[in-house]
Structure 1
């Protein structure tokens, strides 16, 4: 493990693991850390040496001197280059691979746009960013949505009520409910949710460009979805999948909570 000093951002903490020799930069989902992919030890970690980054407001990564106003305005997508440029500075310029789960996929997709000719493999699991997710679009980009998001963050009772309602109408399943509820039960956790999603609000990948670069540079692309995922299902990525005919697409008998031992077993059996 170690830190990268990202210009204009702060210190990005990362975890190193995996038995393979191919370097892979990995970005986890909300509420986790860069160690999230450690459970894929019998499949992916046999081939890759993973550098798993903690998102800001997660693990040990720390923004440097950012005001609340800056956080709510969002991180300029150009700053995402810092992850790769500083990694190059530390480990030498070389080809690399990428892996992202859920909101972490946004960073991966932006990096494909920036470094397509340097990337060997891409693995995306239940990825955000392949299409516009209306829930996040409203909360992060619509005035009324941003007001509602801030109000919920400040309230001790409103956030749990919203989560219960989403479960009741079937928008999220029990596993997502448990995760979400655990992330909003204190004022600090609610603030971290609010800050995390606002910080990455400008990281809106151009899915059409990503698809074109994957084809142009023959990037090996694996897409993994949960059959019972109501958040980022395979159907939401249908247009992207169609535009990347070489993609290796899987739909696993899981929900959005996808990076688990069962996925590792599924991938091992494929081999």
Structure 2
């Protein structure tokens, strides 16, 4: 029977939940993709439990974590407060970090904040390296943020945005369909709005991160799906080219099943 422990950290009316799956002595912190939760990494634990103990988080606006639904953006210093308390309470001195898609931002920022504690950075089709025009358009200008918020109950703005991006060939059809699938209910649209708007300034400092990694020779592995039409090799180049010793592993997978493919390869 799976033995797991659920815990949380509350700071300034925000609560970050995480689950612990016990195993080996190595520690891995896991950060899921959009629309998912901590359970995404159960398959990783199943393949690594002989060597690793997994700490899997419910990221802001996902799972059981509770964050204010306002216009305030989460900053790296906010995440530092959560991670400092987490590492202190769990008595963790050294850890690996694994981030999938949206969770890649959390993994990179955690590595950036704790350069002397990160022992291996695993980035699975990571978001946060390349900032897309559609993301900037929807989250940065105040007027467009207000328009974007109306789509929670009245999704006309999002549909118009999708049509515009399609006509201008700014996003490919697969990416547009993927985005639409994440916006087909009011709950999902609210989740998208707050995940984007409240994280609009939550991005790694690529030059600083790369410099820290290179100085310490911290292992970095990128995982991409050969059939992934959401995040491809071009998307990760701004960071990968700055880290000469990083590794790239290509999996026979698309975006949605990539985490599962990586997990199954872990024990090989």
Deviation at 1:196, TM superposition (A): 1.8
Aligned counterpart in structure 2 of residue 28 of structure 1, from 25, 32, 35: 32
**Do 1:97 and 1:121's aligned partners in 2 also have CA atoms closer than 8 Å?**
yes
Match of 1:155 in 2: 154
Distance 2:265 2:166 in 1: 28
Match of 1:62 in 2: 66
What SS class does the counterpart of residue 56 from structure 2 fall into?
Answer: strand
Deviation at 1:45, TM superposition (A): 4.6
**Do 2:112 and 2:212's aligned partners in 1 also have CA atoms closer than 8 Å?**
yes
Match of 2:240 in 1: 241
Aligned residues: 262
Tell me, yes or no, if structure 1 residue 184 matches structure 2 residue 183.
yes
Distance 1:262 1:153 in 2: 33
1:136-163 CA-to-partner distances (Å, cap 9, x unmatched) read: 1221113454244223333155546766
**Do 2:45 and 2:53's aligned partners in 1 also have CA atoms closer than 8 Å?**
no
TM-score normalized by structure 2?
0.84
Distance 1:172 1:155, change over 3 A: same
Match of 2:124 in 1: 125
Aligned counterpart in structure 2 of residue 8 of structure 1, from 3, 6, 12: 12
Match of 1:203 in 2: 202
**Do 2:108 and 2:121's aligned partners in 1 also have CA atoms closer than 8 Å?**
no
Deviation at 1:19, TM superposition (A): 3.3
Distance 1:257 1:45, change over 3 A: farther
Distance 1:217 1:236, change over 3 A: same
TM-score normalized by structure 1?
0.83
Deviation at 1:266, TM superposition (A): 4.1
Distance 2:115 2:73 in 1: 24
CA RMSD of aligned residues (A): 2.8
Match of 2:249 in 1: 250
Distance 2:264 2:202 in 1: 32
Q: Which moved more, 1:83-92 or 1:142-151?
A: 142-151
What SS class does the counterpart of residue 114 from structure 2 fall into?
Answer: helix
Note the residue ranges of structure 2 that are not aligned, 5 or more in a row: none
Distance 1:126 1:21, change over 3 A: same
